[in-house]
Amino acid sequence: MGVGGAVLVQRAGGPAATAHHPPSVTRFDFFAGQLPAVSPPPPADPGGGAAADEPAGAEEALAAYLTFLVDGALDDAYRLLDAPSRRRYPTPGSWAHAQADLAKPVSFTLGSSRPAFGGGGDVVEVDVEATHEPSLDATRGLVPARSRSLWQVRREGDRWRVAVAPEGTVPILPPDADAAAAVRAWLGPLQACDRAGSAQYEAGAYLYGPAVLVEGPCSRPGDWRVGAPVGLDRVADPRDFLAAFGPAVNTWARAVPVEGPGRPFLAVVAPGGDTWKVMGVAVRT
Amino acid sequence: MALLGAAMALAAVMPTGASSHREAPLITEDPVADNTDVYAFVSPDRADTVTLIANWIPFQEPAGGPNFYNFGEDVLYQVHVDNDGDADPDVTYEWRFDTQIQNPDTFLYNTGPITSLDDPDFNFRQYYTLSVIRDGVRSVLGSGLPVPPNNIGPRSTPNYSSLADEAIVDLDGGVKSFAGQRDEGFYVDIGSAFDLLGLRPFNPAHVAPLPAQPGVDGTGGFNVHSVALQVPKEHLTGGGDGSGIIGVYSQTKRRQTRVLSIVPGDPAPLSSGTFVNVSRLANPLVNEVVIPLGKKDVYNASEPSGDAQFLPFVLDPEPARLIPVLYPGVGVPAAPRHDLATIFLTGIPGLNKPPSVNPSDMIRLNTTIDPTADAGEGNKLGVLGGDNAGYPNGRRVEDDVTDIELRALAGATPFTPDFNRSPNNVLGDGVNDNDRAFLKRFPYLAAPWPGYDHPHHKVGALNAQPAGPPPPPMPSTTAGPTTTTTTVAQIPGCQIRRPNVPPGFRLPDLPPGCVYV
């Protein structure tokens, strides 16, 4: 015990600190040898590969990357990621887990390509049209059945490497005219108070918006009609949808007016493959 | 008094902190995303399952109406499990919340007593979707799952436990889920800890001494918002390294861009872009006091697989360097502290270290070790107390992680036998239990304090009403934190040896009557 401690003990008038308590661990058979030094893991593979496997150009690199994704060859796809993407996903394991947040292509077609503005010839933009297994969830957002997207491929040394996700994606939507029919189909079982039946026309297990609105067609039987679809920007209070999916929802969701003997409302639909599906309801002003 | 006297004689303390409450500059501005604690333990009443709990929104004053506290709709809440030691997540549970206001034309959170979760008087409701990611595929485990209301008071939530029980849902595969307000289960004398790293029972030993006092539960009387999940062990260990040892950590994410509206009639902000990390938590204390200020936000934004960047701070932790300054003469092991790196980053060989491990901050739980006691009844010192089912083998709600980590930092473990002795192995903040009893069953954390009646309303003279007839007696459910009213002025004269301090370190002002010599 140091002098400071002794001074304090004396001032406090307590007994001298001579007692030695037994070790606090009594039951666990601790590792007996010397602890191994804890050191960082070796640096990750910088993304090499035999030169013969190297894609010859930007388009070839992107085609190889997307082919690996289609085939589920994630380790091979990871090898073709560019440096910024590898910083975001520093290990193949983190990359594999992150597939839940990315839109896996089922098939793809490369379109035209061009040098990216400001890229000095080392960055190439490539148009891609792809098909996906469609889905909708509040983390990944919309995965459309079909999309057009713009990918960037950059030169890193003597190799071409691909950005983890496209710069922009435009979903190819079902015709707007089909939205009213989708809501009409959903309303049918709803009017018969058959929630299980109406659920098959819904985009997910959870409907966004005030649930009380959905009860109207069941509790107030009569002639319920649907109108022509409008953009989500016409919804008076779209916060539920914006909070869940961000402003991108404005580009791919549609609102279909529903009116009848009860309170009128808007059925909000999202692309569910090649058809529209109901994802929620909103107050109609 | 004898106990206090002995405590004074120990003359040794170590710094501590809240588990992860307001632990980094950026996250202090975002309470709904501020992850405060993570727990992972084999369920005492369902030993074939593991319970995972994570808390957010620190220091909830229970009376904080009229809007009270809610999960963030624009926040992604996650608990990750690494089952092969590579520091990458293998299983991820995710929570997204949606708010549904039944009647926007009233200011009231509820328009009458809430007697069930579908009570029409329950105005401000939240629902959640629970998903799991395995093998890069997200599956929805449940959606539209209800969150119980905040515990408001006897008029609004007259039978709160019943309401909360309604929100415990059984999902397919033997999974049990709960999300909602709970009592803050982490107990610590945070008020003293962040007053230049003091511990009240050892106040006289501090370089700026004060009279010894019992510890004060600085998080007592507050609530948090919790997500709790109980899942069969094989859901977490399946596909792993076969050891049954898992690493658990939580993350909170927000979308990359948030734009405030310039439209007065539509003030809601817009969030867009990919989800990015804003909070990360595993072992209590690590980001709190081991990671320096300049790196705390980096820690929150980073992944465990990149924790090599923080290894130097664990091997040579700042708290250890401060001890000789604040507590002259007290010895702790010299750097590099491979003992701490073992406890915090790799797991302990033979207990909870995976066969192959990438050092990273995770709560490592050996799921093959059976519970040793009913929930809330385990030895609060965990492994240090001879109870291998407790921290740092996982973390149970009752574990006194503050005292455990204090002693570990002081070297009071068999890894550093020269320091596994008094006073190092009896350190503590003087707070040895939670202010509310833990439940014996899921979700284990106690019911939240009601806004109408909680310890923060019982602080005595500060709230005394000088005029008028005496109020009727209040029904009291618990005692508030115990405090002693000794003041600085009562300290007798003293002399404090001036310690050697690093350049730029300002010694604290001493109380009246004390001088540096």
How far is A147 from A171, CA to CA, in rounded Å? 4
B329 chain-A contacts, CB cut-off 8 A: 1-6
Mean pLDDT for B329-353 is 91
Best A9, A25, A27 residue to mutate vs chain B (most B CBs within 10 Å): A25
Give pLDDT, residue B17: 42
Q: What is the pLDDT of residues B406-453, one digit of tens each?
A: 899 989 898 998 988 777 888 889 999 999 999 999 999 999 999 998
Given a cut of 70, the residues of chain A with pLDDT beneath it are 1-34, 42-52
Nearest to A163 by CA among A107, A231, A83, A235: A83
A247 chain-B contacts, CB cut-off 8 A: 270, 272
**Burial of B477 by CB count in 10 Å (0-12 exposed, 13-18 middle, 19+ buried)?**
exposed
How far is A84 from A87, CA to CA, in rounded Å? 5
Give pLDDT, residue A40: 72
Q: What is the pLDDT of residues B7-32, one digit of tens each?
A: 333 333 333 345 677 777 788 889 99
The pTM is what?
A: 0.84
**Of residues B304 and B485, which shows the higher confidence score?**
B304
Give pLDDT, residue A185: 97
| Displacement of CA B451 from its chain's centroid (Å) | 21
Q: What is the pLDDT of residues B257-312, one digit of tens each?
A: 888 888 777 777 888 888 999 999 999 988 888 999 999 889 999 999 999 999 99
- CB atoms inside a 10 Å sphere around CB A24: 22
Nearest to B204 by CA among B514, B517, B482: B514
B384 chain-A contacts, CB cut-off 8 A: 24-25
Structure tokens belonging to residue B500: 């050697």
How confident is the prediction for chain B on average, in pLDDT? 85
ipTM over 0.85: no
* Residue B171's pLDDT band (cuts 50, 70, 90): very high
Give pLDDT, residue B14: 33
CB contact under 8 A, A206 and B98: yes
Nearest to B114 by CA among B75, B141, B151: B151
Structure tokens belonging to residue B240: 């792993």
Q: Chain A: residue nearest B212 by CA?
A: A12
Q: What is the pLDDT of residues B122-144, one digit of tens each?
A: 999 999 999 999 999 999 999 99
CB contact under 8 A, B421 and A21: yes
Of A11, A97, A209, the CB nearest to B133: A97
Mean pLDDT for B1-9 is 30
Window 99-118 of B, Cβ < 8 Å to A: 99-102
Give pLDDT, residue B352: 96
Calculate the dihedral angle through the C-alpha atoms of B444, B449, B450, B455, rounding to the nearest 10 degrees: 160
| Token pair 């790799």: residue | B346
- CB atoms inside a 10 Å sphere around CB B173: 11
Residue B17 sits at the chain A interface (C-beta within 8 Å): no
* Residue B326's pLDDT band (cuts 50, 70, 90): confident
Residue B342 sits at the chain A interface (C-beta within 8 Å): yes
Three-class SS state of A173: coil
- Spell out where B372-440 has E strands: none
Window 207-236 of B, Cβ < 8 Å to A: 207, 209, 212
Calculate the dihedral angle through the C-alpha atoms of B16, B20, B25, B28, rounding to the nearest 10 degrees: -130
Give pLDDT, residue B423: 77
A68 chain-B contacts, CB cut-off 8 A: none
Residue B308 sits at the chain A interface (C-beta within 8 Å): yes
Determine which of A279-283, B23-27, B113-117, B504-508 has the lowest per-residue pLDDT on average. B504-508
Of A4, A207, A246, the CB nearest to B207: A4
CB contact under 8 A, A205 and B144: yes
Give pLDDT, residue B517: 61
Cβ–Cβ < 8 Å for A129, A108: yes
Q: Which amino acid is at A218?
A: C
Pairing of strands A168-171, A225-226: unpaired
Of B135, B205, B342, the CB nearest to A8: B205
CB contact under 8 A, A27 and B386: yes
In eight-state DSSP terms, residue A261 is S
Size of interface A-B (CB pairs under 8 A): 234
A40 CA: distance to closest CA in chain B (Å): 5
